[in-house]
Amino acid sequence: MHSELDVYDRRILALLQEDASLSSAQIAEQVGLSQSPCWRRIQRLKEEGVIRGQVTLLERKKIGLNTQIFAEVKLNAHGRSNFTEFTEAIRGFPEVLECYVLMGAVDFLLRIVTSDIEAYERFFFEKLSMVPGIQEVNSIVALSEIKSTTSLPVLR
């Protein structure tokens, strides 16, 4: 369900995307509301599922996750019939940060992080390639990151 967001909701969401640790009083001051109505708006946005959670974002390289891989996965005909089994296996791998179902030549795109190429090789042979139904995996190593954000463009 699509929520109707007014200018205050959008400004609140933009601020929270940049810094989820802001208090409702700090947000209220920046968007031009008093604290109570601002707090109620934030609660409503949470209840409606517009705000799905609040997390701390980590700098992956500072914790030793220096390698980022994009893996295109193609399932065989038998594997496509066991879609649920594949998705459950992928959800169980902490190295896989994102998984998307695609239309086209490949079935899935995975974003994977590891400490280095050797760690990815171990992940590939010991975990990913063991998932039943996989026909082909094309691994693409990201050399550098030009843009990475979790902020959605809510201000129009």
Euclidean distance between CA atoms 61 and 68, whole angstroms: 10
3.30.2400.10, 1.10.3720.10, 3.30.70.920, 3.40.50.2300: CATH of 60-142: 3.30.70.920
Domain range list for the chain:
7-48, 60-142
Euclidean distance between CA atoms 24 and 28, whole angstroms: 6
- How are strands ordered across the β-sheet holding 134-142? 96-101, 108-114, 67-75, 134-142
17-76 pLDDT, tens digit per residue, is 999 999 999 999 999 999 999 999 999 999 999 999 999 999 999 999 999 999 999 999
Q: Which CATH architecture has domain 7-48?
A: Orthogonal Bundle (1.10)
Look up the pTM and report it.
0.88
Q: Helix %, strand %, coil % for the chain, to 5?
A: 40, 20, 40
Does residue 79 surpass a pLDDT of 70? no
Does residue 5 surpass a pLDDT of 80? yes
What confidence score (pLDDT) does residue 110 get?
98
